[in-house]
Amino acid sequence: MVVYGGDWCTRDVRGAYGVGLWKHIRKGWGVFNRYVQLQLSVGSRIKFWGDVWCGNRALQELYPSLFQIAREKDATVSEIMEIAGGQILWNINFTKEAHDWEISSFADFYGFLYSIRPNRQQEDVMWWTLTGKGTFSVCSFYKALTQVPNTQYPWRKIWRHKALPKFLSLYGLLLWERFLPLII
C-alpha cells in the first residue's frame, strides 16, 4: 500500500524506490499479496493485466499470448472498461489483428471478461481471504506465515539400513528430536 495519498500500490518493490521503514514494509508485498483478492467496482485502482482481480491469477498469466500483443499493458480496469446504457464494454487495443488460430483464445478471453459483473455501489476493495469478513487481522496473517509444511518423518532412512539396532535407535531418537518441533 502506498502511504501517502490513501491509495494502494500492488507492484513489487524494485530498485531504490522509497526509504527506511516504508521501503522495508513494501518489500513484503509479495507475501502479503498471496492472501489478498481485489474486488472490482470502478476499476481505477486495479491494473487490468497485472493485478489478480478476476479469479486466482492475473490476466497476463491466464492469457499470455494476448498480453504480449496488448497496447496498454499498464492500464487500469477503468481505462479499459466502459459502461454505456447499463452495459459493460471492454475497449482493449491490440497491436495486431487476430489470426485464424488465435480466434478461439480471443473468444475465450472476451467470454471470460463479459462474465464479470462489477459491484458499482462501492469503491474497489482489497479483500483479505484468510478471514470470513474480508478484513485484515494480524492473527490470521501470522498463522499463515507460521504454517509448517507437511514434513514426512523419514522412516525408510532409519529402518532400511543394515546397521546395528542400537545405532538405529539412537539415530531415530536424534531425528525425532530434530523434527518434533516442526511437527508440533
Of the listed ranges 46-60, 83-97, 169-183, the least confidently predicted one is 169-183
DSSP states of the chain as a string? --STTS----SPP-TT-S-HHHHHHHHTHHHHHTTEEEE-SS-TTSBTTTS--SSSS-HHHHSHHHHHTBS-TT-BHHHHEEEETTEEEE---BSSPPPGGGHHHHHHHHHHHHT----TTS--EEEETTSTTS---HHHHHHHHTPPP-PPP-HHHHHTS-S-HHHHHHHHHHHHHHHHHHH-
- Output the pLDDT for position 157: 60
For residue range 83-123, list pLDDT tens digits in order: 888 788 899 999 988 888 889 999 999 999 998 887 776 77
Which residue, among 9, 51, 50, 54, has the nearest Cα to 28 in the 3D structure? 9
Q: Average pLDDT of the chain?
A: 77
Of the two residues 169 and 40, the one the predictor is more confident about is 40
Q: Is the pTM of this model over 0.75?
A: no
- Output the pLDDT for position 3: 42
Sequence ranges of the domains in the chain: 34-145, 149-184
C-alpha separations of 146 from 112, 139, 182, 184 in Å: 36, 11, 10, 12
Whether 29 shows a pLDDT value over 80: the answer reads no
